[in-house]
Amino acid sequence: MQTNLLMKYFYKTIFFVFLIAITAGNISGQRTKIKLNEGWRFMRYKANADKLIYDVRPEIKEVNDSKVADAKPDEAVKIEAKEQVLKAWILPTANDFIKDPSQKHVPPAGNPVADFPFIKSDFTDNTWERISLPHDWAINQAFYEGDKPEVGGGMGRLPSQGVAWYRKKLNISATDKTKIIYLDIDGAMSYSMVWLNGHLIGGWPYGYNSYRLDLTPYLEVGNDNQLAIRIDNPNHSARWYPGGGIYRNVWLSKVAPVHVAQWGTFITTPEISATEATINLSLQITNKANTSQKVEVKTEIYVLDKSLKLIGKAVASFPTESISIKAGENYEQGKTLKLKNPKLWGAYTTQQPNLYLARTRLFSNGKVIDQYDTQFGIRKIEFHPTKGLLVNGEKIKIQGVNQHHDLGALGAAFNVRAAERQLEMLRELGCNAIRMAHNPPAPELLDLTDKMGFLVIDEIFDSWERKKTPHDFHLIFPDWHEPDTRSFIRRDRNHPSIIAWSFGNEVGEQYTDVEGAKIAKKLHDIVHEEDPTRPASASQNFAKPDMPFSKEMDFMSLNYQGEGIRDAPAYLHLKGGIRTSPLYPAFQKAFPDKMIVSSETASALSTRGSYVFPVATENSAPVSDGVGGNPVTKEVSAYELYTAQFGASPDKVFATQDRHPYVAGEFVWTGWDYIGEPTPYYSARSSYSGMIDLAGFKKDRYYLYQARWRPELPIAHILPHWNWANRVGEITPVHVFTSGDEVELFLNGQSQGRKKKAAFEYRLRWDEVKYQAGVLKVIAYKNDKIWAEEVVKTTEKASKIQASADRSIIKADGEDLAFITVKITDKNGLTVPDANHKVYFSIEGMGEIVATDNGNPADLVSFSSHERQAFNGLALVIIRAKKGKVGKMKLHIKADGLEATSIELSSKIQ
């Protein structure tokens, strides 16, 4: 105890002297932000982790990893701490995001774990792994296999659970002695706790939120400083793959004592016309010196080009103001200007995503002491009850998808190029909107949606007080729901792509009547306190129009209820779960002044290129063994008729939405496959619900949606493939997805009939075709004119390998990636759709193989393997250039019985 008191006195003394130095000296010196991703040491316990816990957790007695996704959430298990926990020292990190001063947290006296070796500067960590951030400790590891894995299919069968440490030395130069030094962590999964020079300085339990810690009081200027971060990622904490570790960027921010606060600007555009826009700026400035300070504040507006560079001089300026800020306080101001002839931010595809930058500068004695840039867009968003979504006065049908946060074989470790690739393929599909399921994304993802013109529903929670898994967010909801929500809104609210906030997904409080509605209202009001300009809602898969829960929403955000749940003939035998008829009319009648959108639709399931016979005669059916599902291979038929128990086929969803044109649109579950939640086969590793598989290869369903979402694009897509040597003479149905209105099918030159789409029909079916090898051809018509043609051939024997890269030149920054598609082909260059050869990869030169995949949800070979079995003719290799190394790299690809190939790329310095 005496040692702790002496250390506390020492740190306070050092900080006081530090502040005296700040006050006595000049407070000049502009803001610098340094990416702190290199040079970390990492160690994950194999067993017997330390006891430095945030809080105790309930004992898990029984786990059902594969319970249906719309199962009713449970009440929380009450527990009491019987040992010392560190929560009391972590909670004060949240204080800036707690409105009521009486509810803010005061840390206990002393430093609770000062003697733990990993937090000390003299601890030797040379045997620890050297890594760079962002880092997902589980993604390159072996999958758990078997019937009772430690981590089940729901969380992706990867070892994301456990406790790990990250350590890094920080050298703070004497030139920074007058600065305030912050550590900014964009995301750490989860229960992160941070020590600096042996002192516990804070943390944040929720793994998806970004947060900041002030390092200044504990820094030794001019010396090495030891940073240590503990991560504790519990098993059974999610319904999908969470990843493990510090999986987003970490930054060191150096600022003058007087500076723009964290996420300290909020720009709104309440009035917009073709000739003028009103721009409001809310600005928060903080003073961390120990005396009052006078500064001059100036904010100018610049136009950004498509590469986000400034175009010319400032186009407008807010009034300059001189202010005085008392020591230790924040100063808030609001300003307004009129901008002539604004360039509006708009949605893909009919509008342009024009962007501006507001540059705020603080001056002291005529010198710039801080510069803070805010990227924003000028746009008008309206949620209309019958017209749907209006963007700048134009009706935009929401053609959206849900996206989880992992990046396939790269795991949770965020990578800008990988995320951009996902969005590029979704934009090609015709998708114009993303729902962030079910957590805040990496900040850079929202930068991309701003730049590319996607509409976004930004979401914060998958659970509140009631639990979906034993160790999910419900454990920390009472302490953290307010700071998590406020920080989430403040971080993201300047992104023009965000059109609405979601503060909950299918939460158990839908079932608790008035009590659940009270929590919903509390969260709704917090959102509006932070951002009164956007509507807020929580998605509902159970709450009905007459329930209190629904009344607390600004717009109706419905999961599956619009098209009905378990209500079609093929679903009537199912037991358990929610059952309801289509509810669009009931919600529209109950809330005639509120917009309705389907925040989750379909939950259709399929494995790319796999087909199971016989084929359902219904246009929507739940998958089961032998009915669309193959339990041996763990494949789901790609006829795109099969769904989760609570789901519906695209055909059924389209028809329901077309019958109710006041519905603003949909967010399909999902755009891409994701790791975890592998319904219906929980012995697999990843989901079946995407239009694009985990490797980034398009499923047949992609073309069904593209035909609907891009009606101007000539499309005629045939399924299945036509390699069925074991089905000669057997019925092998042929389906066609087209943006045309009429199609004629030919088999080996013989017409199988010409069919025209009927009302509320979205595919054309020839269900009596008998297989014979040869050529399938379709001619699609639109308005009686030839619109598109497509040919599918029976291939020759597999004999070659083809490789193609999404880009041939990549940056040598250690982050940029190239995605190599590998195809198994016949001598004519046709992809052999049933080829499953094992393929071997090696690389020479200035590149390295990051990961491989094939899109098969049941493939449990590690993503880090350089050997990968092709799946239905395809495989993927992800390549990264060695950091700082410029030159050529050559990927060699071979397989037994096939002609080998190679592909050459090069790297450059940006």
Q: What is the pLDDT of residues 138-162, one digit of tens each?
A: 999 999 999 999 999 999 999 999 9
Number of H helices, E strands in the chain: 10, 50
Q: What's the per-residue H, E or C state across 514-583?
A: HHHHHHHHHHHHHHHHHCCCCCEEEEECCCCCCCHHHHCCCCEEEECCCCCECCCHHHCCCCCCCCECCC
pLDDT of residue 15 exceeding 60, the answer is: no
Question: By C-alpha distance, which of 398, 401, 399, 397 is closest to 689?
Answer: 401
**To the nearest whole number, what is the mean pLDDT of the chain?**
94
- pLDDT tens digits, one per residue of 832-890: 999 999 999 999 999 999 999 999 999 999 999 999 999 999 999 999 999 999 999 99
- pLDDT tens digits, one per residue of 225-244: 999 999 999 999 999 999 99
**CB burial readout 257-268, b (16+ within 10 A) else e:** bbbbbbbbbbbb
The model carries a pTM of: 0.94
Residue whose tokens read 């982050």: 815
Q: How confident is the model at residue 78 (pLDDT cuts 50, 70, 90)?
A: low
Residue partners of 327: CB distance under 8 A and separation at least 6: 287, 289, 290, 291, 292, 293
Find the mean pLDDT for residues 296-310: 96
In this structure, what is the dihedral angle of CA atoms 585, 70, 192, 442, given to the nearest 10 degrees? -50
Find the mean pLDDT for residues 798-821: 97
pLDDT of residue 30: 82
Beta strands in 288-366 (DSSP E): 293-304, 310-317, 321-325, 330-340, 356-364
**Catalytic residue set:** 506, 600
Query: How far apart, in whole angstroms, are the C-alpha atoms of residue 600 and residue 606?
Result: 17
- pLDDT tens digits, one per residue of 171-194: 999 999 999 999 999 999 999 999
Q: To 10 degrees, what angle do helices 416-429 and 443-452 make?
A: 40
pLDDT of residue 66: 72
Query: How far apart, in whole angstroms, are the C-alpha atoms of residue 750 and residue 96?
Result: 73
pLDDT of residue 67: 72
Q: What's the per-residue H, E or C state across 586-599?
A: HHHHHCCCCCEEEE
Q: How confident is the model at residue 69 (pLDDT cuts 50, 70, 90)?
A: confident
Find the mean pLDDT for residues 789-796: 98
pLDDT of residue 79: 52
CA distances from 886 to 418, 880, 883 (A): 21, 12, 8
Find the mean pLDDT for residues 42-46: 97
Neighbour-count burial of 384, counting CB atoms closer than 10 A to its CB (0-12 exposed, 13-18 middle, 19+ buried) = middle
Question: By C-alpha distance, which of 374, 393, 539 is closest to 457?
Answer: 539
Query: How far apart, in whole angstroms, are the C-alpha atoms of residue 628 and residue 644?
Result: 11
Sheet holding 40-44, edge to edge: 129-131, 40-44, 162-171, 224-233, 192-196, 199-204
Residue whose tokens read 């981590």: 151
pLDDT of residue 80: 53
Sheet holding 330-340, edge to edge: 258-272, 276-287, 330-340
Q: How confident is the model at residue 527 (pLDDT cuts 50, 70, 90)?
A: very high
Structure tokens belonging to residue 481: 């729901």
In this structure, what is the dihedral angle of CA atoms 438, 443, 448, 453, given to the nearest 10 degrees? 60
Find the mean pLDDT for residues 330-354: 96
- pLDDT tens digits, one per residue of 720-777: 999 999 999 999 999 999 999 999 999 999 999 999 999 999 999 999 999 999 999 9
pLDDT of residue 68: 78
Q: Give one DSSP letter per residue of 37-101, joined into a string.
A: -SSEEEEE-SSS--S--SS--PPP----TT--TTPPPBPPPP----S--SHHHHGGGGGGG-SSG
pLDDT of residue 339 exceeding 60, the answer is: yes
pLDDT of residue 562 exceeding 60, the answer is: yes
Task: Calculate ∠ Cα 835-809-35, nearest 5°.
Answer: 110
Euclidean distance between the first and final Cα of the chain, in Å? Answer: 54
Task: Calculate ∠ Cα 758-759-765, nearest 5°.
Answer: 35
The radius of gyration computed from the CA coordinates of the chain, to the nearest angstrom, equals 28
- pLDDT tens digits, one per residue of 594-650: 999 999 999 999 999 999 999 999 999 999 999 999 999 999 999 999 999 999 999
Question: By C-alpha distance, which of 870, 891, 771, 778 is closest to 825?
Answer: 870
pLDDT of residue 77: 57
pLDDT of residue 14: 34
pLDDT of residue 17 exceeding 90, the answer is: no
